[in-house]
Amino acid sequence: MTIISKLAIAASLATALTSVSIAQENLSGLVVGFSQIGSESGWRAAETSVTKQQAEALGIDLKFADAQQKQENQIKAIRGFIAQGVDAILVAPVVATGWDDVLTEAKEAEIPVILLDRGVDAPEDLYLTSVASDQVKEGRVAGEWLVAEVGDADCKIVELQGTVGSTPAINRKQGFEEAIAGHANLTIVRSQTGDFTRAKGKEVMEGFIKAENGGADICAVYAHNDDMAVGAIQAIKDAGLKPGTDIKVVSIDAVPDIFAAMVAGEANATVELTPNMAGPAFEALSAYLADGTEPEKFIITESKLYTPADNPQGEYDTRKGLGY
């Protein structure tokens, strides 16, 4: 790729991901504290870098604090932000409980708090709004795609679940099952956990292929995240089958590597879990600071479906630099 086309992509990325409406000019010069959970996954790293990009584009002075998976660090960071007298606080809470005290302190200091990506068990008046994805909907979008894709043909589906008992695994399973319910030609024949990892996704898929007549009986694999799908794709190839053709691959998250697989024709669809939680958060903050508009308590981000028709090479290039 030439430098010029790279620059063009970078520029289009900047406009696409950080489209700043004129209405948000009032945020320029503000100081916003951001308490992030950590960097346990590529998605989390991407959320951090998108948030920083958004803030920079809006002229916000973003104070970033990495909690390294510990609530006590987050509470410390938030108290620090309050002491510094920031104009607003963004928090991606690591756990749901134990926030009442520190959120009350922020409220008393009249600093609006916006929750990103996860919710908390605290009175709703303690925070301005929360921005999160609807995980059930993500599963439903994936299921609806498969229903439309196979039409009336019979389709035996194998499912790679996330970590047993985790909220995304429960919700993404539920949404997918809702979407295929009422379509008797689609059945989930096997379902096991791949712990959201590539290695386990590959191992579990190997087992499924052996168990289902060398993979000949499997029509599609639904993975609760892209990483497991990437592992499953390798297992399908090792078994001498063509992923994307012999076995359809649908998953959730939209990380760069699934777009690379789409370019190679090995993945069929992914549902985006957008790393851009900060965009809607800053929009809500801007409206609130301008004329006191109370935003909705729960802002739901879009769960966009991507297929090979959506320029996977371009998506790969734009996302690769986000730290996934």
Partner 1 sequence: MKRLHLERLANPQLLALVAVLLINWALFPNFFRISWQDGRLFGSFIDVLNRGAPVAILAIGMTGVIATKGVDLSVGAIMAVCGAVAATMVVAGYPTPIAVVAALAVGIACGLWNGFLVAILDIQPIVATLVLMVAGRGIAQLITEGSIVTFNEPSLIFIGTGSFLGFPMAAVIALVLMILVTLLVRRTAIGLFIQAIGVNRAAASLAGIHSRMLLVLVYALSGFCAAIAGIIVAADIRGADANNSGLWLELDAILAVVIGGTSLLGGKFSIPLAVVGALIIQAMNTGILVSGFRPEFNLIVKAGMIILILMLQSPLVGNAAGFFKRDTRQAGSK
User: Which residues contribute to the site for partner 1 (CB under 8 A)?
Assistant: 39-42, 45, 161, 164, 190-193, 195-199, 202-204, 206-208, 210-211, 214, 227, 230-231, 234, 238-240, 257, 323-324
- Ordered alpha helix ranges (H), 155-218: 167-180, 198-211
Among candidate residues 211, 169, 172, the one with its CA nearest the CA of residue 190: 211
Per the CB < 8 A criterion, the answer to whether 46 and 92 are in contact is no
| Shortest Cβ 230–partner 1 spacing (Å) | 8
| Shortest Cβ 202–partner 1 spacing (Å) | 6
| Shortest Cβ 112–partner 1 spacing (Å) | 30
- 220-223 and 248-253 beta bridge pairing: parallel
Per the CB < 8 A criterion, the answer to whether 130 and 161 are in contact is no
In the bound state with partner 1, the residue whose beta carbon lies nearer, of 140 and 198, is 198
In the bound state with partner 1, the residue whose beta carbon lies nearer, of 1 and 4, is 1
Residue with tokens 């295929």: 180
Q: How far apart are CA 285 and CA 295, in angstroms?
A: 8
| Shortest Cβ 147–partner 1 spacing (Å) | 24
Q: How far apart are CA 179 and CA 28, in angstroms?
A: 43
What is the signed CA dihedral for 100, 106, 109, 114, rounded to 10 degrees? -130
In the bound state with partner 1, the residue whose beta carbon lies nearer, of 40 and 296, is 40
Strands laid side by side in the 298-300 sheet: 61-66, 31-36, 88-91, 113-116, 129-132, 298-300
In the bound state with partner 1, the residue whose beta carbon lies nearer, of 211 and 287, is 211
In the bound state with partner 1, the residue whose beta carbon lies nearer, of 244 and 295, is 244
| Shortest Cβ 221–partner 1 spacing (Å) | 14
| Shortest Cβ 124–partner 1 spacing (Å) | 33
Per the CB < 8 A criterion, the answer to whether 315 and 254 are in contact is yes
In the bound state with partner 1, the residue whose beta carbon lies nearer, of 72 and 294, is 72
